[in-house]
Amino acid sequence: MLDDYRQVVADTHTFVLEEGADLLGVLVMSLEDAGLLLINIAVQPRYKGKGIGKILMAFCERHALRNGCDAIRLYTHELMTENIAIYKKLGYQETRRASENGFARVFMRKALSVR
């Protein structure tokens, strides 16, 4: 990865989940029009399978709603079949597949009920 992470943090809504001194996971999101783009979600390998991803995804939805978003978009590599299944289970629908920047991506979207 060649991203300038100082710039990423400055340009996005980036949150970390910590417990004491341990970093459990991270979310990187960007507001766009009436929606939110989930750019990255990551959980430390030693915390996988402990519900951290679900906590982060729930936070992502709350953050989107607080910011008036009516949907969340995301994309992942087509080989990440476990992630795609998780997203579908959380209510995301596949919108398209395409090759982008040399990666075979699956694009997904979840409509939100704005209260």
pLDDT at 115 over 70: no
Please check whether the domain covering 5-111 is classified as CATH 3.40.50.2300. Answer: no
Whole-prediction pTM value?
A: 0.88
List 32's β-bridge partners, or say none: 35
User: 61: which 2 tokens?
Assistant: 């939805």
pLDDT of residue 28: 94
Name the pairing type of β-strands 22-32 and 13-19.
antiparallel
Strand runs (DSSP E) across the chain, as ranges?
A: 13-19, 22-32, 35-43, 71-77, 93-100, 103-111
Q: Where are the domains of the chain?
A: 5-111
The amino acid present at 16, given as its one-letter code, is V
pLDDT of residue 2: 55
What does the pLDDT look like over 39-96, one tens digit per residue?
Answer: 999 999 999 999 999 999 999 999 999 999 999 999 999 999 999 999 999 999 999 9
Q: Looking at the chain, how many residues does it have?
A: 115
- Helix, strand, or coil (residue 62): helix
